[in-house]
Amino acid sequence: MIIPPSGSAHLAAAGLIPPPRSSLQGPACLTMGLLSRETWARRLDTFRASPSTFMAGPDGEDLGRDLLRDLRSEKLSEQMKVSLLVLSLEYPAQLWPDTPAAEAAATSLLDTLALLPPRPSALRRPLLLAATTALVAGGALGPISGASLRLLPLLLGLALGRNPGQGLVPSSEQRPLQVTACECLRELESCRPGLLSGSLGLLRGLLGQEGPVGPVQPLSLLLALVLRNTLVIQARARASLQGLLTVQASPMGSGPWNWTLAEESDAHLQPQAPSWPAAEQGECGLSELEPSPEEARELRAAVAQLLDTSYLLTPVAQAQLLWLLGWALRGLRGQPPALFKPQLVRLLGTAQLTLLHAVLALKAAFGEALFTAQDEALLLRRLTVAAQHPALPVPAHLFYLHCLLSFPENCPLGPVGEEVTPLLLEPQLCRGLLPSLLHDPMALLARLHLLCLLCAEDEEKEEKGQGQSPLHYLEDLLASLWQRAALTGGPRALATLCFQASYLVAHCLAGQPTVLTALTRGLAQLYRAQPALAPHFVDLLDQAGPELGEPLRVVLQQEVVSRPGGNEALRWHLLMLAKVADGDAHSATLSFLQAAAAHCTDWGLQQALLQVCRALLRAGVGGGLADLLQTLARQLEDPDGRDHARLYYILLGHLSGPKLGVALGPSLAAPALASSLVAENHGFATALMVQEVPAPIRLSVGPQRAEGLALQLHVEVLEPVYSLELRFRVEGQLCAPLGAVHVPCLCPGRPARPLLLPLQPRRPSPTRLDIRALYTKSTGCTCYAHLPPLPVKFADLFLPFPQPPDGARLAFFEELWDSCLPKGTESRLWCPLGPQGLEGLVSRHLEPFVMFAQPPTSYHIAIRLPPDSRLLLRLAAAQADGVPVALRTNDWAVLPLVGDYLRSLSTAVGV
């Protein structure tokens, strides 16, 4: 397919294809290299299997460029092109990794859209979405972006029902394109809040006009989002609405884009309201906005207009609209919440979960200003009855229970954040919500949460004529859970559910000693029946508060030490004892350990036994512990175990209690102590961690050496550095991965040998090296640091050709010169010279590559560019203001790089 001149001009301006004069690649050459449908299908499958692996491979860098090019190919079907555009929507960050690439991609996509013929096409909507996604994901959206200034008027014109192409868009596609344009504008407004504030009047006029209008749902959501963002940002700036609700700006020319307002909104506003508890904190700053009477009237009219058309929206869209408007008007002066009352009358009986959630969010936002006590009681009854429906799916059941547990009351009692049942929720209504072992685990836990809140209010009193109290029901349920968890060979899920329920009860009823006593007793019986649950008990002790943790620890310690030391559950007893052992009842603990030592024959049991000894050491237990450690140091079969026992015995005999605790439990907050052993152990945790610090290392690139393609790195340090490891990562895929460089020791002020970093270029193009350093300081700490990136210049890739005999140099150069064509290219350029002239330029920069010379009239220069490119230069006699240069290369892609390089040489010589 031959790209029309206008399209190629746009691509050349965007930098996606090289300009024809500089690259010698005319339009006819653009048809070369187009990929077939089968090739694209294989590439897409490979990419989706592992995007990171594909992008790191040789084809990764070309993927975005090939995609943009083949979107204009007539050989590919529209279905395949849609697949390519879908890929750009799913992986924009991989295809356009930086802002210039995203800008160029969006420009190319808009050019492709403009070149579509005036017939129905499946590409227009994906092209709009892809251009919007490229600008947003690549961070290119802004007032200086040419693609942004082209895309915004196009989207606004389509959203307003206008055909910006003077009939080029078929009438059958205008409504779908209008929907897509609204979605794209909503995405842009979400990323740059306040950008479309000048379009409020236009969008209101379109939504309220008589006769055929655009799609109501996308227009309503777009208008609501723009209105919410404008109100919040204007309130932060303490500015008025300035007639934004009524102005009918034209989308032509500069357009109604408010880049200044969008840049002042430093943080992206969330597109939905905050959670219910957070709704009580602050008013989003809207109380600072003081609209005039006329602006308040227009604002009420705009909100009423959106609410009146909300019944035409889908349930999800209605819920989002109510979220946006509720947050926008909460705390705004002159805007009564009664505007939402007609919608509440319609929605209080809804069966849609999204709409019910939105209604509860409005209740959290406005409270009794919008909901009466009767409304609150009705909502509670609806939630309670709906949660008891037997055919309800588990997710919906959990939703209703969550709404009950987090119900936003009009007048809550108690401190903020306290978990209590709603005041109007009668216990009789919750009889059908009591948990049962037959329920799904998640539903059981949610019902148990509600039951715990009821028990907190029950105060262990029987309700007359109403059967069993909630507290007694809770005790029976926990007993059943413990009984199921104690079954030998039972599913692990039963034990997990049991401990989740125990933690929930301890958390909700921490202030009721009677419940905690029964809970502690039941858990102790569970451990007695099933010691293999010791890991679950350790986790519970880590998470439970002191109300349950301390008594449970004492009871579990008594359970363990009362067991014989040689049974099959010994490893679980030792694991539990390492968690709960302390200075209390240490004689019984030591007796248990003395009996268990004879049965610890393998390495795992010996280490578990030593962990208990370590816990006793930290608790300050002496006396009999020294005898036990001495016995273990002699009798344990494993040498590692004997060494640990001997170390603990030495520590016990030489350190006092506080120092022993610090030595065995290093803490960065502990004060420095006099003991060298303690001081060493005090920094032990720090020494084991890799710390990220500012780098005391400076790297620079030295002159290239003749023996091969390698960067010569000079290293300077500001402090002594040991075991230095430099890791290099090449940006893009221009070079093969580089190995790490190791240096044993570097000291400031002492010259170091240069480091050679071999390069294996995949293309002769400049790049940058991202450098990370891992090293050890003189204090013994291992540090990690980022170093400034090092540029690999085009000249760093130059290699000389092997020198032929003196008499054959000119013939060898001519043979190289002729071999570049016809596959390569030839060009001529004018190179300015500085005061040092041609001889100074060649001697300073190009002398290693001179193949044949007749100074000062001509120089023949041959440069090898790995992996398989060559660059040949003929420098003629210098003239007054420069020198003519003829060049040939077998790789046309290096032409712009050669031009930049030669111009930089003339500047350097001039300096």
pLDDT bracket for residue 518 (50, 70, 90) = very high
Distance, in Å, from the CA atom of 352 to the CA atom of 320, rounded to the nearest integer, reads 13
DSSP, collapsed to helix, strand or coil, labels residue 285 as: coil
3-state secondary structure 618-684: HCCCCCHHHHHHHHHHHHCCCHHHHHHHHHHHHHHHHCCHHHHHHHHCCCCCCCCCCCHHHHHHHCH
Query: What integer pLDDT is reported at residue 683 of this predicted model?
Result: 44
Query: What integer pLDDT is reported at residue 240 of this predicted model?
Result: 67
Which is more confidently placed, 214 or 327? 327
Query: What integer pLDDT is reported at residue 247 of this predicted model?
Result: 66
> 582-588 — which CB contacts under 8 Å span 24+ positions?
582/553, 582/557, 582/615, 582/619, 583/616, 583/619, 583/620, 583/621, 584/554, 584/557, 585/557, 585/558, 585/561, 586/616, 586/619, 586/621, 586/624, 586/625, 587/624, 588/561, 588/562
Q: Which two tokens stand for residue 304?
A: 């009423």
Q: Nearest 10 degrees: CA dihedral of 756, 757, 762, 765?
A: -80
DSSP, collapsed to helix, strand or coil, labels residue 402 as: helix
Condensed to tens digits (0 to 9), the pLDDT of residues 86-96 reads 999 999 988 99
Q: Is the pLDDT of residue 167 over 60?
A: no
Distance, in Å, from the CA atom of 625 to the CA atom of 618, rounded to the nearest integer, reads 12
Under 8 Å between Cβ of 872 and 861:
yes
Based on the number of CB atoms within 10 Å of its own CB, is 561 exposed (0-12), middle (13-18) or buried (19 or more)? buried
Q: Nearest 10 degrees: CA dihedral of 156, 158, 163, 169?
A: 140
Of 142, 73, 134, nearest to 109 (Cα)? 134
Q: Which two tokens stand for residue 775?
A: 């090293």
Mean pLDDT of the chain: 80
Distance, in Å, from the CA atom of 159 to the CA atom of 152, rounded to the nearest integer, reads 10
Q: How many CB atoms lie within 10 A of CB 622?
A: 14
Query: CA separation (Å) from 303 to 286, 327, 335, 339, 340?
Result: 16, 12, 10, 8, 9
Q: pTM (2 decimals)?
A: 0.64
Condensed to tens digits (0 to 9), the pLDDT of residues 470-496 reads 888 899 999 999 999 888 877 888 999
In this structure, of 200-214, 266-280, 415-429, 509-523, the range with the lowest mean pLDDT score is: 266-280
pLDDT bracket for residue 334 (50, 70, 90) = low
Q: Which two tokens stand for residue 776?
A: 């050890």
Which is more confidently placed, 903 or 554? 554
DSSP, collapsed to helix, strand or coil, labels residue 861 as: strand
Under 8 Å between Cβ of 288 and 323:
no
Give me the sheet containing 767-776, strands edge to edge: 690-692, 782-792, 767-776, 721-730, 741-746
Question: Which single residue is written with the structure tokens 């599913």?
Answer: 491
Q: Which two tokens stand for residue 524?
A: 């102790």
- In sequence order, what DSSP letters do the residues of 341-354 get, joined into one string? HHHHHHHTT---HH
pLDDT bracket for residue 836 (50, 70, 90) = low
Alpha helices in 787-893 (DSSP H): 809-819, 837-841
Q: How many CB atoms lie within 10 A of CB 794?
A: 19
pLDDT bracket for residue 168 (50, 70, 90) = low
Query: What integer pLDDT is reported at residue 281 of this predicted model?
Result: 42
Query: What integer pLDDT is reported at residue 218 of this predicted model?
Result: 92
DSSP state of 843: I
DSSP state of 432: G
- In sequence order, what DSSP letters do the residues of 193-220 get, joined into one string? TTTTGGGHHHHHHHHH-SSS-S-HHHHH
Query: What integer pLDDT is reported at residue 418 of this predicted model?
Result: 63
Query: What integer pLDDT is reported at residue 348 of this predicted model?
Result: 82
